[in-house]
Structure 1
Amino acid sequence: MANRTDSDSRFSLDLQGEPIPEGHAANPARPYGDMLLVDVRSLGALPVPPETPVPTAAESGRGMEAGQDACEDERVSSMFWLEGDVLMCACPSCGAPMSVRLWLMMADCWRCETSIELTEEQEREALRLLQRRHARLERQAVAAGVPTCAASGALQAPPRPMGASRDAAPRPAEHHRAPREPLEPPRELAAPPRTADRPWHAKRPLADRAHSLLKNMPAWLISLLFHVILITMLGLLTSRQDDGPYITLSSRISRIVREGGDTRIVAPSDNATFDLGTPEGMDLADPDVRRAAVLADQDARELRLVDPDSPFLPELTKVKEQIGSVPSSRTALVARDPRVRVDMVRREGGTTLTEAAVARGLRWLAQHQSRDGSWSLDRFHHAADCDCGDRASLASDSAGTSLALLPFLGAGQTHLTGVYRDDVALGLRWLIQSQKPDGDLRGNSDQYPGMYAQGQAAIVLCEAFLMTGDEQLRVPAQKAIDFIVDAQYSDGGWRYFPASVSPNLRGDTSVLGWQLMALQSALSAGLSVPDETMENASRFLDSVQRDGGTTYAYLPHDRASPPMTAEALLCRVYLGWKRNHPALRDGVTRLLKDDPPSNKRPNIYYWYYATQTLHHYGGAPWREWNLHMRDVLVSSQETRGHEAGSWTPVGPLTSQGGRIYMTSLAICCLEVYYRHLPIFRQVDLE
């Protein structure tokens, strides 16, 4: 083992070789014995001259000075040395000798195949070693008077070894062999020009630098670069798109100045026509009144904007035939078609102002729809930078969404047709997605509005299915009806919870009204409703009626009230009472006489049911009721600020439902002229 270290060297060399036999002195020219040296330019091992006999003491003395000079020359570098004509350095990885190819600025290890690149400092150190060796050889040649290969001034490369084994070690007997013939002088190699002004990495071949960069690059970075390149290439791949039919607009501007004609600004109100009619006594000669009427007419026309060629609309002649036919549950909603809006409003008692109020109310509702498609009773102010007040004290997104969709459907706006079809589609999708597998649509409702929300949502799904025939709505609507059927109490009524949750409770008239309206809508849409369910509902109404069915109470032992009477009479009409039924006649008369619509006693819940009941009944009672109802609601609609188009909650229990609840029911009241065809009479549009 021979260890070589130097304080100025970055490498520690640990070289394996044969031990020197006793009695032999180390040859300064071959400090590592018979170690096999390999030149990377050759295919075989370099032939090494055999060892010579150890000189005598006298010979050693005579050659000591020359040996010291050679050793000093060959060991002048702490990093490089010469083995014959081969420049060597130590491998930084395994410590084995490395042959240096100075013209390439590279060194290669025969053992571990490591390659290193020389720095400029290492290059200068190697050149100094070679220059000293060259100077020593010149001195020896001059002293001997014989030219040498070293005196030629060219750097010689050693000959290519032939057939030598790397691991072959000399045997002791070989130390006494006769010296071989001198080796063939190596061929001359011209060193490349130095480029000291360039950095060391600039001399490195481009392919080697790229290979080293990829070899040392982490896997995640390679993956990132690959995917970035792939995504960029995919982004450049575009398919040819057909722009479809298009037109090219061009204009030519003439430099000729032409004198215009007689320009006269005409006020829009001068040519306005009110095809929906105006209320009696409205002074259109008053500029302010006429201007308000013109604006109302413009708003009212918004709901009649429909494509007459839409494939989702039935034939207009068929619609008119159904309206004029004998009333039936299957044709109850055909008058909602926007194409017959003018005729229905004029014949049933509406005006331009009532229809404008409907349009403004729907606009307000659309502005306060949540992004997910729902409406919230208590959080509607989060939408559209709203600063409206009067949020509900009860929480129910299901009830808010259903109440808001009722007037949209009432105005003929579905998810397939109408200016609000996108809003309706979002609302219907939210309802369907929030429905549970058993048909439960109560959602996140507080405990009290839960079954109200169920009935209202079921009405929406059934009406949307009846109006469009969209089969996607059939199953959700039927499930909602099935949930209502299962939730009925044994007394025939419904309450705040399903019967399975509170079997010992009794129903009430208020909750029953919404469930019965949903069941009637289901029958109109051709859905399945058990006859027993309707019969039990009629039995419950018998338990809360007063005066032979003229008035009705909230619970069996409560006093009768106008709101419960109006709601119960509407249920009686849908359950089969005829117009000439004495209790129906007396009940309608009492509603009109005792509690007609008035700003002094507002009650939107009562007006909602009473308006429908009297519209079905018709005649003078309806005309009188309608005059009060439409004037009160049109005059109380908000006209300023963000609340414009809505109604401020006033009256009993409106604080629980808030502005969404109040606005939705008010719009439904003003849609009564076409929302449902009257049951007891035919409407002739001819």
Structure 2
Amino acid sequence: MRKAVVAALILGFVWADEPRWLGSDVLRRRVRRSVEAALACLARTQQPDGSWKDMIGRKVCNLYVGHYDKHIGVTALACMAFLAHGDLPGRGRYGKVVERGLDFILKHIDENGYISYSNSRMYSHAFATLFLAEVYGMVRRDDLKEKLIKAVRAIERAQNRYGGWRYLPTSIDADISVTVCQIMALRAAHNAGIFVNKNVVDKAIEYVRKSASPTGGFRYQIYDSEGRRIFGRVSFALTAAGVVALQGAGKYDCDEVRRGLAYLRNQFLINHFPPPHHMRTTFEYFYAHYYAIQAVYVAGGHLWRQWWKRIANELINGQYEDGRWQDVVGPNYATAMAALILQIPNGYLPIFQR
């Protein structure tokens, strides 16, 4: 499968191969135009050093609102949007864009393997590691492998006693939102042939499973900083992330996944949550749908077909004329996430394959 993907990437992106289940001809043309406009927008907003800027460090429900600067995580996500289109470093229409973004990330890996710029945190480290793993799986550069291994080891060392991760490598507590990002980075590295400590993965998956609630949703936190069991909030975004993490571990039919998918279906397809206006006014909208689309894509069937048509139209209707989307983190983050969501059916990124 990986060889076929790489061959397709080298030959360039071919929209004509879209399967019919992607919807009507009208919808498929709309998706195509939307993605092309989004990527052109991202190419325009890339900084000369290869980075993209957006808000760093914003924390929900906290007075700490972050600061605007070059963003490691957004740079990684933007570059992955181009990979999903069929562009590789130095190859394809946007090959130079990807190459500059890769160079920026590689320059900001410290001796311990932590990827950070301007006080970015573990979210960004995870997205950057995921991007490096996806690139390495396609181009097999020795210098890239060395940096990727260091980034993976940094994730492994940062895991805490509960099996999860938090905002900083030294955090003593954990939450499922940050944890799932690390799990997916480790999965991508493993898929690319990098050794990943199985004990780390097993502990992480156990943490995710413990985060599932009887309602089908997944909880933000299950332990406080003192180790006491708590029952944190449940949300659409956290549930989508939890389901994807378990699917990525090969647990496609466990109770937590079945209940989680039912929860997601009820929220989005029946209760119409999150509503479309949340894409511009909240932190969670794009994070939620980035993971939700992966969860239902793996599940397949009627749920996937219903979901795809709804989210594709919703995103396209929310796109600005210049090709961007907008949320509280910033336009580059929102645009990269939307472009990734709309390109998941292409199957070019190994992490998005069934």
Say how many residue pairs are matched.
323
In the alignment, structure 1 residue 398 sits paired with structure 2 residue 72: yes
Other-structure match for 1:634: 316
**Does the 8 Å contact 1:589/1:621 carry over to 2?**
no
Other-structure match for 1:674: 346
**Does the 8 Å contact 1:353/1:634 carry over to 2?**
yes
**Does the 8 Å contact 2:82/2:98 carry over to 1?**
yes
Select which of 549, 568, 574 maps to 2:242.
568
In the alignment, structure 1 residue 595 sits paired with structure 2 residue 268: yes
In the alignment, structure 1 residue 521 sits paired with structure 2 residue 188: yes
In the alignment, structure 1 residue 647 sits paired with structure 2 residue 291: no
Counterparts of residues 347-366 of structure 1 (less than 5 Å): 347-349=21-23, 351-366=28-43
Opposite residue 110 of structure 2, the aligned amino acid is K
Other-structure match for 1:533: 200
Cα separation, partners in 2 of 1:646 and 1:441, compared to 1, 3 Å: same
Opposite residue 516 of structure 1, the aligned amino acid is I
List per-residue Cα deviations over 1:547-568 (Å, max 9, x = no partner). Answer: 18x3201101213211100000
Other-structure match for 1:296: none
Select which of 424, 428, 439 maps to 2:113.
439
Select which of 546, 550, 553 maps to 2:219.
553
Opposite residue 185 of structure 2, the aligned amino acid is A
Other-structure match for 2:166: 495
Opposite residue 368 of structure 1, the aligned amino acid is T
How far residue 345 of structure 1 moved from its aligned partner, in angstroms, is 5.2
Opposite residue 560 of structure 1, the aligned amino acid is V
How far residue 476 of structure 1 moved from its aligned partner, in angstroms, is 1.1
In the alignment, structure 1 residue 421 sits paired with structure 2 residue 95: yes
Select which of 473, 477, 494 maps to 2:148.
477
Opposite residue 604 of structure 1, the aligned amino acid is F
How far residue 529 of structure 1 moved from its aligned partner, in angstroms, is 0.5
- Compare relative contact order (CA 8 Å, sep 6+) and give the higher one, 1 or 2: 2
Could you list the runs of 5+ residues in structure 1 that have no partner in the other structure?
A: 1-321, 323-329, 380-390, 650-654, 682-686
For 1:416, what is the secondary structure of its paired residue? coil
Partner Cα distance (2:69, 2:4) in 1:
32
How far residue 378 of structure 1 moved from its aligned partner, in angstroms, is 4.7
Other-structure match for 1:189: none
For 1:370, what is the secondary structure of its paired residue? coil
**Does the 8 Å contact 1:617/1:678 carry over to 2?**
no
Counterparts of residues 290-369 of structure 1 (less than 5 Å): 322=1, 337=9, 338-344=12-18, 346-349=20-23, 351-369=28-46
Other-structure match for 1:658: 330
How far residue 401 of structure 1 moved from its aligned partner, in angstroms, is 1.4
How far residue 375 of structure 1 moved from its aligned partner, in angstroms, is 1.2
**Does the 8 Å contact 2:188/2:351 carry over to 1?**
no
Partner Cα distance (2:149, 2:207) in 1:
24
Partner Cα distance (2:251, 2:35) in 1:
31
For 1:529, what is the secondary structure of its paired residue? coil
Partner Cα distance (2:305, 2:178) in 1:
29
Partner Cα distance (2:3, 2:163) in 1:
28
Other-structure match for 1:622: 304
Partner Cα distance (2:315, 2:193) in 1:
34
How far residue 635 of structure 1 moved from its aligned partner, in angstroms, is 1.2
**Does the 8 Å contact 2:244/2:291 carry over to 1?**
yes
Counterparts of residues 100-499 of structure 1 (less than 5 Å): 322=1, 337=9, 338-344=12-18, 346-349=20-23, 351-378=28-55, 393=67, 395-445=69-119, 449-498=120-169
TM-score, normalised on structure 2? 0.84
Cα separation, partners in 2 of 1:430 and 1:678, compared to 1, 3 Å: closer
Select which of 572, 584, 592 maps to 2:257.
584
How far residue 336 of structure 1 moved from its aligned partner, in angstroms, is 6.2
List per-residue Cα deviations over 1:408-457 (Å, max 9, x = no partner). Answer: 11212111321011111111111111211211111222xxx411110011
**Does the 8 Å contact 1:616/1:678 carry over to 2?**
no
Could you list the runs of 5+ residues in structure 2 that have no partner in the other structure?
A: 57-64, 223-230, 280-284
Partner Cα distance (1:430, 1:483) in 2:
19
For 1:671, what is the secondary structure of its paired residue? helix
**Does the 8 Å contact 1:393/1:658 carry over to 2?**
no
TM-score, normalised on structure 1? 0.45
For 1:351, what is the secondary structure of its paired residue? helix
**Does the 8 Å contact 1:562/1:606 carry over to 2?**
yes
Partner Cα distance (1:534, 1:442) in 2:
23
Cα separation, partners in 2 of 1:495 and 1:396, compared to 1, 3 Å: farther
In the alignment, structure 1 residue 611 sits paired with structure 2 residue 293: yes
Partner Cα distance (1:415, 1:439) in 2:
22
Opposite residue 401 of structure 1, the aligned amino acid is T
Partner Cα distance (2:13, 2:232) in 1:
46
List per-residue Cα deviations over 1:498-549 (Å, max 9, x = no partner). Answer: 1xx34xx21111111111111011011101100011011012113311118x
**Does the 8 Å contact 1:513/1:567 carry over to 2?**
yes
Cα separation, partners in 2 of 1:428 and 1:357, compared to 1, 3 Å: same
Partner Cα distance (1:660, 1:392) in 2:
16
Cα separation, partners in 2 of 1:336 and 1:590, compared to 1, 3 Å: farther
Other-structure match for 1:148: none
Partner Cα distance (1:335, 1:591) in 2:
35
**Does the 8 Å contact 2:344/2:352 carry over to 1?**
no
Cα separation, partners in 2 of 1:545 and 1:332, compared to 1, 3 Å: farther
User: Computing the radius of gyration over CA atoms, which structure comes out larger, 1 or 2?
Assistant: 1
Opposite residue 367 of structure 1, the aligned amino acid is R
How far residue 592 of structure 1 moved from its aligned partner, in angstroms, is 1.6
Partner Cα distance (1:478, 1:348) in 2:
37
List per-residue Cα deviations over 1:148-186 (Å, max 9, x = no partner). Answer: xxxxxxxxxxxxxxxxxxxxxxxxxxxxxxxxxxxxxxx
**Does the 8 Å contact 1:646/1:659 carry over to 2?**
yes
For 1:440, what is the secondary structure of its paired residue? coil
Cα separation, partners in 2 of 1:423 and 1:508, compared to 1, 3 Å: same
Partner Cα distance (2:290, 2:191) in 1:
21
What percent identity do the matched residue pairs reach? 28
For 2:166, what is the secondary structure of its paired residue? coil
Opposite residue 303 of structure 2, the aligned amino acid is P
Partner Cα distance (2:43, 2:351) in 1:
29
How far residue 485 of structure 1 moved from its aligned partner, in angstroms, is 0.8
